[in-house]
Amino acid sequence: MLNGKTVLLGVSGGIAAYKSAALASALMKQRANVHVIMTPNAVNFINPITFETLTGNKCLIDTFDRNFQHSVEHVAIAKQADVMMIAPATADVMGKLAHGIADDMLTTTALACRCRKIVAPAMNTAMYENPIVRDNMRTLKQYGFEVIPPAAGRLACGDTGAGKMPEPEVLMEYIEREIAFAKDMRGKRVLVTAGPTQEAMDPVRFITNHSSGKMGYALARIAMLKGAEVTLVSGKTNLMPPPFVKVIHVTSAQEMFDAVTGEFPDQDIVIKAAAVADYRPRHVSDEKMKKKGDSLFVEMERTEDILKYLGEHKKPYQFLCGFSMETENVIGNSRDKLAKKHLDMIVANNLREPGAGFEANTNVVTLITQDEEISLDLMSKEEVAVHILDRIMSNP
């Protein structure tokens, strides 16, 4: 997702600098063009050769280094940048930036950058909680910097508290949110449902399905990266919720109905990717059911049809997208569902298609509207999510 994007990674003098090497490596794996700028103090914690080996670019330290191409280096690099992240950001560096002091390559380049700038504070807890440092962070925010909240835990100095630099995976999420996609969904409120529901039989047993939630989570994440304000209503899964997304956890179909209908009036786009149970046991035992005989009869009743309710109550400005997983007559059955549920689009796939289905990381789908059918090739669920959202945004 970062292919061809230019990322400036500033590294200042803190023990957390070693994590920045892992971040640089992760950025390179996404084919970003990474330039690292270090403060003179940072080289006491990690060797510049590490970053040069990882990125293939010279690590910049000295503002007056004569060993470079004939250009004003900090200005040239600043012009190329799509985003700049300073990680770790020490109290010293943040204080300089908050007051416009540019006395080394890192601070000079940061002040010359017009792109989004993100800082990840890392320091002793007492320093982090110092009113001067907190005031400097507030000043940076006022000037358009994004300040990532530090993690809490045992610090290198032996103290325990806030001040740890977040892990590289967390830092990557901030960078991806900023530059992975054009923000064509900014201002849109998007509700996505994902995962299975569980319908209790007794305190021990429940009826469910094989949904992993991967497709819904991919949709929520890509919508967030495209700038939308996203709410994810999720049944129980083994997935980590996407960052920067409001998550509502539910268990049963009724809980999902209540959550979705409660959020629905404020949404511009609703994508129902969850596999909701059509039936639930009519009677739920308060105690564990014991074995009796060779068979068990469970009387079932219909659950609330969430998609039908949404279709009947949606406003003209709202876009409603459903999913249809079939084992036969995929297009015909999906078109019937499109009409009966008053949907704007339905995403159809065949459970028997290689690469499709619940647990896979890939999918093969057809996007169906009243006027067209778009068949997509086998691709990752995140790639499918991009196509779905692009088609929704192209709706007049």
Q: Which residues are catalytic?
A: 157
- 272 carries a ligand binding annotation: no
- 226 carries a ligand binding annotation: no
- HEC profile of the chain: CCCCCEEEEEECCCCCHHHHHHHHHHHHHCCCEEEEEECCCHHHCCCHHHHHHHHCCCCECCCCCCCCCCCCHHHHHHHHCCEEEEEEECHHHHHHHHCCCCCCHHHHHHHHCCCEEEEEECCCHHHHHCHHHHHHHHHHHHCCCEECCCEEEECCCCCEEEEECCCHHHHHHHHHHHHCCCCCCCCCEEEEEECECCEECCCCCEECCCCCCHHHHHHHHHHHHCCCEEEEEECCCCCCCCCCCEEEECCCHHHHHHHHHHHHHHCCEEEECCECCCEEECCCCCCCCCCCCCCCCCCEEECCCHHHHHHHHCCCCCEEEEEEEECCCHHHHHHHHHHHCCCCEEEEEECCCCCCCCCCCEECEEEECCCCEEECCCEEHHHHHHHHHHHHHCCC
- 278 carries a ligand binding annotation: yes
- 268 carries a ligand binding annotation: no
- 214 carries a ligand binding annotation: no
Residues annotated within a binding site for CTP: 278, 288, 323, 337, 341
Residue positions in the annotated binding site?
Answer: 278, 288, 323, 337, 341
